[in-house]
């Protein structure tokens, strides 16, 4: 299974985890195991690796790819959402871990081979669930949400300036017949956007709408926030957190959370002295997010928006 991050960012992300033989690490977004494999290499002998993915295809792949490490480390592969990591670790009777990696979003497998309508370039059912056990598909959202809710999704998650026009076009099209496939939706979006804009945009007019729907279907921002609310309780002292994000909203959530936990005190800045008593709980390891260099972007254009942030528990 291929992925969107190639070697340099991948190595940089794992380096932030400071992996040591005998210690315990979590990859909450296994995907095709590009990061997982390097982590497993670095923690043998005697380490413990817990890999999580909400897509059962990724777990099946990981069982094969990581099998060679099974006699050197303790390996746990869990089909589930990283927002529930607390439960998974407590089931394994693990109280704290030494590092957690999240490489957020979808994998190239989702775009290219899953058959679930993540790409507007393919004719596939409009599904977009990373976990096919989840209830709501993209088709459910597109055909069942009000035009106002769709507009909000396109505007907030897609930062789409024609969100209103597109939502109205979707509502008009589905009155004729339900919208079932990725290409049908892409065509409706293309027609809804003023021709001048569609031609001048560097990306396909449906790019932002597809990204927005995917974020909504998988509740990507909510699960990230749920994870962050528990992350520090799961980490040992000097445990590391490393995030790779692809979307500016995700990156903003991670950045603001890291900054808040690194500052501690939440009193208004005009208070003469601290009354909240909150102490810093994190040390920031990346003042500015690490970005792929021009060479990496040239080799892999999909990596262009990747940002890496890392922090250490105090
Ligand atoms: C960008 S890919 C990860 C690629 C991986 N780091 C690699 O090296 O191959 C993201 C993966 O995380 C999974 N994923 C996304 N959000 C998740 C969540 N909330 N819980 C569990 N898995 C998630 C997706 O199913 C996908 O397989």
- Provide mean pLDDT across the span 155-162: 95
CB 181 within 8 A of CB 117: yes
Query: In the predicted model, is pLDDT for residue 97 greater than 80?
Result: yes
Ligand 1, atom 26, lies closest to the CA of 31
Q: Which pLDDT score, from 0 to 100, does residue 177 have?
A: 97
For ligand 1, atom 18: residue with the closest CA: 81
Q: Of 3, 6, 15, 125, nearest to 65 (Cα)? A: 3
At 302 the pLDDT is 77
Distance between CA atoms of 117 and 3, rounded to whole angstroms?
A: 17
Stretch 265-291: mean pLDDT: 93
How far does residue 145's CA lie from ligand 1's centre (Å)? 27
The pLDDT, as a whole number, for residue 129 is 98
Structure confidence at residue 7 (pLDDT): 75
CA 53 to ligand 1 centroid distance, Å: 6
In angstroms, rounded to a whole number, what is the distance separating the alpha carbons of residues 209 and 277? Answer: 43
pLDDT score at 136: 97
pLDDT of residue 198: 65
Report how far ligand 1's centroid is from the alpha carbon of 70 (Å): 21
CB 306 less than 6 A from any atom of ligand 1:
no
Asked if pLDDT for residue 170 goes beyond 50, the answer is yes
CA of 125 to the centre of ligand 1 (A): 21
| 1 band by pLDDT with thresholds 50, 70 and 90 | very low
Which residue's CA is the closest to the ligand 1 atom numbered 24? Answer: 106
Average pLDDT over residues 41-59: 97
Average the pLDDT over 49-55 and give the result. Answer: 98
Q: Output the pLDDT for position 254.
A: 98
The proportion of the chain whose per-residue pLDDT surpasses 90, expressed as a percent, equals 86
Q: What is the pLDDT of residue 227?
A: 98
Residue 2 has pLDDT above 90, yes or no: no
Ligand 1, closest atom to CA 244? Answer: 1
Asked if residue 200 has pLDDT above 70, the reply is: no
- Assess whether the C-beta atom of 3 lies below 6 angstroms from ligand 1: yes
Nearest ligand 1 atom to alpha carbon 107: 2
Which ligand 1 atom lies nearest to the CA of residue 246? 1
- 295 pLDDT band (50/70/90 cuts)? confident
Averaged pLDDT for residues 128-154: 98
pLDDT digits (tens, 9 = 90+) for 110-121: 999 999 999 999
Give the CA angle between residues 35, 39, 45 to the nearest 5°.
155
Mean pLDDT along residues 239-259: 97
Given this model, what pLDDT does residue 294 score? 87
Domains of the chain with CATH codes: 7-107+220-313 (3.40.50.150), 135-217 (1.10.150.170)
């Amino acid at each position: 299974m291929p992925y969107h991050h190639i070697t340099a960012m991948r190595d940089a992300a794992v380096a932030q985890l400071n992996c040591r033989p005998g210690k315990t690490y979590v990859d909450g977004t296994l995907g095709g195991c590009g990061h997982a494999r390097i982590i497993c290499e670095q923690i043998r002998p005697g380490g413990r690796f817990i890999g999580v993915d909400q897509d059962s295809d990724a777990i099946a792949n990981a069982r094969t790819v990581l099998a060679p490490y099974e006699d050197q480390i303790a390996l746990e592969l869990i089909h589930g959402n990283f927002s529930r990591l607390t439960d998974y670790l407590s089931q394994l009777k693990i109280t704290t871990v030494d590092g957690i990696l999240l490489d957020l979003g979808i994998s190239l497998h989702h775009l290219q081979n899953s058959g679930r309508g993540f790409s507007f370039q393919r004719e596939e059912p409009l599904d977009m669930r990373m976990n096919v056990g989840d209830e709501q598909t993209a088709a459910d959202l597109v055909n069942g949400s009000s035009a106002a809710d769709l507009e909000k999704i396109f505007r907030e998650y897609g930062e789409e300036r024609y969100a209103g026009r597109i939502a109205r076009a979707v509502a008009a099209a589905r009155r004729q017949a339900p919208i079932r496939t990725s290409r049908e939706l892409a065509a409706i979006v293309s027609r809804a956007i003023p021709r001048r804009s569609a031609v001048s945009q560097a990306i396909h007019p449906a790019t932002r709408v597809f990204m927005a729907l995917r974020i909504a279907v998988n509740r990507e921002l909510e699960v990230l926030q749920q994870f962050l609310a528990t992350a520090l309780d799961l980490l040992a002292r000097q445990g590391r957190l490393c995030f790779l994000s692809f979307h500016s909203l995700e990156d903003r959530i991670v950045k603001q959370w890291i900054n808040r936990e690194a500052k501690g005190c939440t009193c208004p800045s005009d208070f003469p002295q601290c009354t909240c008593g909150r102490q810093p709980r994190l040390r920031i390891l990346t003042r500015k997010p690490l970005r792929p260099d021009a060479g990496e972007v040239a080799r892999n254009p999909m990596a262009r928006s990747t940002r890496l942030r890392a922090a250490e528990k105090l």
